[in-house]
Structure formats: C-alpha cells, structure tokens
Amino acid sequence: GSGRTLVHGAGRLVDTVLREVAQAATWHGGQLRHQEFRPADERQVAGEADTGAGAYDLVLALRGTAPLPDQALAVETEFRRRYGDHADPLGDEGFVLARHGHGTVVLADAPAGLLYGLFHVVRLGESAFGADRPVERHRPAMRLRMLDHWDNVDVHHQTGQVERGYAGGSIFWRNGRPHHDPARLRAYGRLLAASGVNAVAVNNVNVHATEARLLTDRLGDVAAIAELLRPYGIRVYLSVSFAAPILLGGLSSADPLDEKVRAWWAGTTAQVYDTIPDFGGYVVKADSEGQPGPFAYGRSHADGANVLAEALAPFGGDVHWRAFVYNHRQDWRDRSTDRARAAFDHFAALDGQFRENVVLQVKHGPMDFQVREPVSPVIAAMPGTRLAVEFQVTQEYTGQQRHVCYLAPWWREVLEFGPWGAGGPTVATVAAGPATDDDGSAPTAGGGLVAVSNVGDDPFWTGHPLAQANLYAFGRLAWAPRLDPSAILDEWIDLTFVPSATADPELLRRTLHEIMDDSWRTYERYTTPLGVGFMVRPGHHYGPDVDGYEYTAWGTYHFADRDGIGVDRTRRSGTGFTGQYPQPWSDVYESLEQCPDELLLFFHHVPYGHRLHSGSTVIQHIYDTHFAGVEQVAETRRRWERLSAAGLVDQGLDARVRERLDEQLRSAQEWRDQVNAYFLRKSGVPDAQGRRIH
Ligand code: GCU
C-alpha cells in the first residue's frame, strides 16, 4: 500500500520505534510515513492528517493508552475472542500481531513489546502485509537474554583485548578508554534488539586491575554504554571481582561474612544505581582459573553470592554467579579427579541456599564449550535455585570464526534435551523458569539464556561474516527455544542479504543453507571424535594437538593408548560422573550399550575395535569422519565460489569469506592428518579403505 504507519503510545522506547519506522521509510524509497499519537489530549500528528479507520498499512499501538485507534481496537477484540476474556497479559516485551482488513497491527502492553513487534514485522517482510493472518501472541520464553562480552578495557598481555575474541578489538573499549563511536554502539543496540537480546555484560569475567575499576571510579564509562543501549531495551551488567573490597575499597579482606565487606558492597552498589538506575547487576567468576572467591575465607559460594545479592536486592538487580568452578591445578596422574564432576560437586549441595536474586550461571556442558558434550548435570540438580544456561557464541573451540560453524542446531539439541527423560522439563524450561511466572513476577523466574559474545569492532561485526548467524540465532532461540534452526537461518539470510534484490534469490538461499545447515556436524567430523573433546593447541585453542593437554593440569584428557581411547566416567569402574544424572540418563550413560555414539568417548574408555551403533568400529569411524569432514569443507568452498561467480554477494564480504574458507580447508586438512596419523600410529589398525594416512 502507501506504507502509512501509525504509532500510538509514548515513552523512550516508543521514540525508538518512531525512529526505526522513519529509517525503514528511507530504505523503502520514502514510501512509509509515520504518524505519532500521544495518549489522550497530548495528541500529535506528524505528516499527514488521520484519514480514519482502516487507513493505515501498519499500526503499532500500546494497549493501555486509550482511546485505541480503530484498527488496533478491532485486533484487540479479536485477540480477546481468541484467547478468552482473561487473555494473559503480554508482559514487558510481548506483543500481538495480526493482519486486519488492509492493515497490519502490532499491540503491546509496554514499549519494548512494540519495538520487538516492529522488528518482527521487519523479519516477516512482505508477508506481514499479505493475506489475512489470525491474531498471534508472541512472548519471550526467557525473561533474560544476555550476551556476555569477554572484553578488556586494556589490551591484556596474555589474552589480548577480547578474551577468545575473533572479531577485532572491543566494540566498547579502545586504548584503555571508552570507544568513542556512539553511532556504532547504537547500531549494535539495534542489532541486538532485532535479534531479541535484552542484556549485555560489558567486560570480561576474568576481571583485571583496570577493569575492576569500572565498578567505582570508572563507572561513568559504563553509564555511557548504558545510555546508548537503553533506547533498544538493553540493560547493562558488569563483571566484578570478588576481591573488589580489597582492590578498590582498601579493606584487608573480602570475607563475605565480614560486616565491613557487606557494607562496602551495599554502599558501592547504591552508587552504581545512582549513576545507572536501570543497571542489571553483577556477573561473577569466583574461585575459578585464578579469580578470587569465597574459598579463601573458608566460605561457601552461597555466602559469596548472597553478599552481592543483598547489595543488589533493594534496586532490583541480580547477581549472575558462574558455576564454572573446577581445579585447574590438577595432577594428571591422579585418575580420581574428574573436571566434569566439578560444578555439580561444588554447587548441587548449595541448592536452596541462594537468595532470590542470585542466578547461578551454568555452562551448558560439564566441561567447556566443546563441539560435543552431554548436558551439564547441574541443570537437573538445583530445583530451588534460579539457573541461567550459558552458551558460547564466540567460537573458541569451534573454529574461532575462521571456520563456518552454524551453532544453532547444537544449541537447539541442548535446549530440547530432557534431563529427566522424554516428556519432562527440558533445559529450555529450566532456564525459562516456571511458566506461571511469565506475567512478570520476577523472584522465582528462571535465570534465562546467556552467551559469550562473538562481536568486536570488525566491519562485519563477527570476523567471519557468516558467524553473524550465530549471534542472531542465539537471540532468537532465547526468545523462542523451539524455533527450527533452519528457519532461523532463513530469517537471517533474508534480513542480511535481501535475496529478493539479487539476480538469483533461490541460488543464494539454497547455497547458504548447503554451506551452513550441517556445518557444526562437519566441524565435529574433522576435529575431536565421539565426544572426547579438546585435542587443541594449548593456550589459544586453535588447530589440532592431540596430546596438547594430555599431561597438563587442566583436567582435559582422552587417555588414548595402543588399545583404546576415552574417559571412563562410569560408576562401575570410572570417576562416577554418570551418577550425577537423574534417571534415565544416569543408566543410559553408564551403559556401554545404550550410550549414544556421539558421546561414547566422553563416558567410556573402549578398545579401537569397539563397534558403534552405526555399525562402524571406533577407529574406522575416526578415519571415515575425518576424511568426510575435509571433503565437506572442500565442497563448501566450491559452493561459495559458485555464488561469488554469480555476483550474488557484496565484493568486500565475498573476499572476507573466501579468505576464511581457504583457511578452513587448510585447517581441516591439518586436523584430519594429525588425528588420523596419531590414531593409526597408536593403534596400528589400518584404514579399511586404504586411504593415505601420514
Ligand atoms: C574457558 C576459556 C577462558 C574463560 C573460561 C571461562 O576456559 O578458555 O578464556 O575465561 O572459559 O568461561 O571463564
């Protein structure tokens, strides 16, 4: 139609909606105009006069602000009819979408809902304006959808500016100062909101000296970021050091039960809220990989978390306390210590001891973001604690944004896993919290979904342009965990490449699907087999090194010898880790017969000749998958070349992707050759197909 849009409502986020609509108008050749209605008598009309009922192509209206425009009222009536008189409230972020008559209508209870509704309309594209669509209600499954930046203010001598960052420097900081590029940060806020993210932690969980000061004398830097992200409904969190009372407060102790320490946290936190009234809270990595924590004072992690929670509670803030606690100074000779057990051993017994505004942030697997791991048993062990599940969007162990690795299929598997068996609650429902809470009654709500960010100041945001899809998919799955990863990819392709504007949209879409849909499994094929994990270069974690961590203190072993491979984590003869799971998994993982192939070496040590459910032996599986994985990468590169020959993608982007695909192929070959050679030499078992192994 004419593209006329009506925005009804007021507030800061409604202003963002107006700006977005205005911007959309420029993209679409100025066809869209907006009219802004303020509630009641404060009515303003911008552009043309109201031409009456049914005249708008798009109406975005806040329900609470009577009188509703006619089209909105009609949809409101239909919504009540469809969902019953007591239609659940939409919440802070939900919206209703319908096509009514000749217009598309978005209704929300709060301004953020209008913003998400608008982005949904953008996502639907022309189909939002096509045939009638019945009323749909959209509400996020997770109240909290957070990205954790592992960014340092200074360039750190060991980890660089962004720890595990593969997209240039930090988007927030440069040369020890805030990154003065407000336009870029605003664009970032927009990108995140369009993906569904509503919270960001702005610094690394490993808090170094400069970064510790963000809590006090450098709080203004954080406030500046909060100011730029706020118009997109994004709240800012800070990673803090547990030793802050000593480092910043000059106290002699950080003992959580010490009155002076409590008072310091309370006073410091009050100042934070003076400066940033909508501050989200703290993220804490304590007693982990050298970070300070409550163990130094003989206190528990509940004591530690609660002192921060108590300081945040009056202001509605949360503390995200990470469960990534394990002994990284382990003796590799000691077969009884098992890093996989650590989080459960430290935290399960503390269930029920955390304050209501503590969120225990649990990595989705028991180890550390490997290409394949079982779900962490902690997720099933703490019914009396708010849990957030942590993913890693940054590709530390999945190709470091040099390899194409679309992670949504992996996350989707994790989210729909039922720790108590099929039909019971899933990982997604644990993170979301009890359904009765989605009206917004916060205290018992789940902790949500969190991910380590993959964004930097790179022009493509994520280093590898195709890695943007992971960022987008994370936000979408946190909003709606049951979305199909392939459908999410379709959305991302349409939003990113605008296929309709290219000469051959079908070729573009099809090729991107061929390249990305199965790329996580491809990555798994040419790297570590059957759930055993690691085998990476120590330190930076890129590229193969089968024994890289084998005799180290980090607790990440494969135990390969001439006869077999894998970690015995059974109760019968191993570390007993399988006993941390409820039934049925406790028995399924314990059993050599029932354990799924893809996790076999995570739970069992087996001879190379052990036969998998797939029919192959372990050793032949290793050879076959490594040859196949490299073939698939070569095919990926050929596919991309066809796209680029057809001129379907922007030149700069094309050049970047080609450079990365060359490296991915080189690296995949290196993985194949090292892993295959290693296991041929260890086992002496030749490849059944007689292929060349070095
Ligand atoms: C991994 C990663 C570290 C990070 C840690 C964490 O071990 O390699 O860089 O600090 O996870 O999650 O805290």
What DSSP assignment string belongs to 418-460? Answer: -TT-TTS--HHHHHH--GGGGGS-GGGS--EEEEE----SSTT
Same domain? 133 vs 152 = no
Residue 507 within any structural domain of the chain: no
Angle between helix axes 408-416 and 485-497 (nearest 10 degrees) is: 140
d(CA 567, CA 518): 27
Is residue 298 included in any domain, yes or no?
yes
- 130, two tokens: 């096509």
For range 194-203, the mean pLDDT: 98
Determine the residue of 156, 324, 394 to mutate for testing ligand 1's pocket, defined as the one with the most ligand atoms within 8 A of the Cβ atom.
324
User: Which of ligand 1's atoms lies nearest the C-alpha of 204?
Assistant: 10
Q: Return the amino acid letter for 345.
A: D
pLDDT exceeds 80 at position 680: yes
**Is there a single domain that holds both residue 67 and residue 184?**
no
Q: Report which of 280, 308, 310 is spatially closest to residue 294, judged by C-alpha positions.
A: 308
CA-wise closest residue to 428 among 440, 439, 441, 412: 412
The b/e string for 165-201 (b: 16+ C-beta within 10 A; e otherwise) is bbbbbbbbbbeeebbeeeeebbebbbbbbbbbbbbbb
Cα of 161 from ligand 1 centre, angstroms: 14
Percent of the chain's residues with pLDDT above 90? 83
Q: Does the structure show a pLDDT above 50 at 436?
A: no
From the CA of 163, give the closest atom in ligand 1: 9
- Of 92, 287, 318, 396, the active-site residue reads 396
* pLDDT at residue 49 greater than cutoff 60: no
Mean pLDDT of 687-694: 98
Do 159 and 62 lie in one domain? The reply is no
First-last CA distance in the chain: 65
Burial of 351 (0-12, 13-18, 19+ CB in 10 A): middle
- pLDDT of 55: 76
- Which of 108, 138, 168 is the C-terminal boundary of a domain? 138
- 132 and 157 belong to one structural domain: no
Same domain for 426 and 403, yes or no, is yes
Same domain, 158 and 237: yes
Atom of ligand 1 nearest to the CA of 396: 8
In a domain, 41, yes or no: yes
Domain carrying residue 132: 4-138
pLDDT on residue 32:
43
Among the candidates 84, 107, 138, a domain finishes at 138
For ligand 1, the distance from its centroid to the CA atom of residue 163, given in whole angstroms, is 8
Are residue 116 and residue 152 in the same domain, yes or no? no
Which ligand 1 atom sits closest to the C-alpha of 205? 13
The answer, yes or no, to whether residue 237 has pLDDT greater than 80, is yes
Mutate to test the pocket of ligand 1, among 164, 284, 330 (most ligand atoms within 8 A of CB): 164
For residue 306, tell me if it sits in a domain.
Answer: yes
Per the domain annotation, does 497 fall within a domain? no
Does 648 have pLDDT greater than 80?
A: yes
At 198, is the secondary structure helix, strand, or coil?
coil
Strand partners, 672: none
**Nearest residue to 400 via CA among 517, 537, 542:** 542
519 C-alpha to ligand 1 centroid (Å): 24
7 vs 583 pLDDT, higher one: 583
Q: Strand 358-363 relative to strand 318-322: parallel, antiparallel, unpaired?
A: parallel
- The Å distance, Cα 547 to ligand 1 centre, comes to 20
Q: Which residue has the tokens 């993913």?
A: 391
Label residue 41 by pLDDT band (50, 70, 90): very low
Q: Is 638 exposed, middle or buried (0-12, 13-18, 19+ CB in 10 A)?
A: exposed
Q: Measuring from atom 1 of ligand 1, which residue has the nearest CA?
A: 368
Domain boundary among 484, 499, 516: 484
pLDDT tens by residue, 402-425: 999 999 999 999 999 999 999 999
Same-domain status, 67 and 91: yes
CA distances from 401 to 160, 174, 406, 423 (A): 16, 21, 10, 36
As for ligand 1, residues whose beta carbon falls within 6 Å of it are: 163-164, 205-206, 285, 289, 324, 368, 396
Shared domain check, 159 and 79: no
User: Domain with 349 in it: what CATH number?
Assistant: 3.20.20.80
Q: How confident is the model at residue 35 (pLDDT cuts 50, 70, 90)?
A: very low
Give the pLDDT band (50/70/90) at residue 179: confident
What is the domain count for the chain?
Answer: 2
Model ipTM?
A: 0.99
Residues 323 and 363 in one domain: yes
Inform me whether the pLDDT recorded for 167 exceeds 50: yes
Q: Is residue 547 part of a domain?
A: no
Cα gap 599→586, rounded to integer Å: 13
Sheet-wide strand order for 95-100: 33-37, 4-8, 58-62, 103-108, 95-100, 136-138
Task: Tell me which of 15 and 373 has the higher pLDDT.
Answer: 373
pLDDT band of 379, cuts 50, 70, 90 = very high
Distance CA 465, CA 324 (A): 30
Question: For position 5, what pLDDT does the model report?
Answer: 84
User: Could you confirm whether 368 is annotated as catalytic?
Assistant: yes
- The helix/strand/coil state of 27 is helix
3-state SS of 588-634 is HHHCCCCCCHHHHHHHCCEECCCECCCCCEHHHHHHHHHHHHHHHHH
What confidence tier does 33 reach under pLDDT thresholds 50, 70, 90? very low
- CA-nearest residue for atom 13, ligand 1, is 205
Whole-number average pLDDT of the chain: 92
Give residue-wise pLDDT tens across range 649-674. Answer: 999 999 999 999 999 999 999 999 99
- The whole-number average pLDDT for the span 261-289 is 98
Q: Whose CA is nearest to atom 11 of ligand 1?
A: 368
Within 10 Å of residue 333's Cβ, how many Cβ atoms?
Answer: 7
Q: Of all helices (H) and strands (E), which one includes residue 587?
A: helix 585-590
Catalytic residue chosen out of the listed positions 289, 484, 547, 662? 289
Look up the CATH number of the domain holding residue 93.
3.30.379.10
Region of poorest pLDDT, from 36-40, 102-106, 145-149: 36-40
Residue 47 Cα to ligand 1 midpoint, Å, equals 53
Ligand 1 center–CA 150 separation, angstroms = 9
Instruction: State in Å: Cα 605 to ligand 1 middle.
Output: 27
- The answer to whether position 198 is within a domain reads yes
Using pLDDT thresholds of 50, 70 and 90, give the confidence band for residue 438. very low
Indicate whether 582 belongs to any domain: no
- How are the residues of the chain apportioned to helix, strand and coil, as percentages rounded to the nearest 5? 40, 15, 45
- The residue from 93, 368, 491, 568 that is catalytic is 368
**Do residues 402 and 443 both lie within one domain?**
yes
In this prediction, residue 422 carries a pLDDT of: 92
396 is catalytic: yes
Are residues 40 and 116 both part of a single domain? yes
Question: In the predicted model, is pLDDT for residue 48 greater than 60?
Answer: no
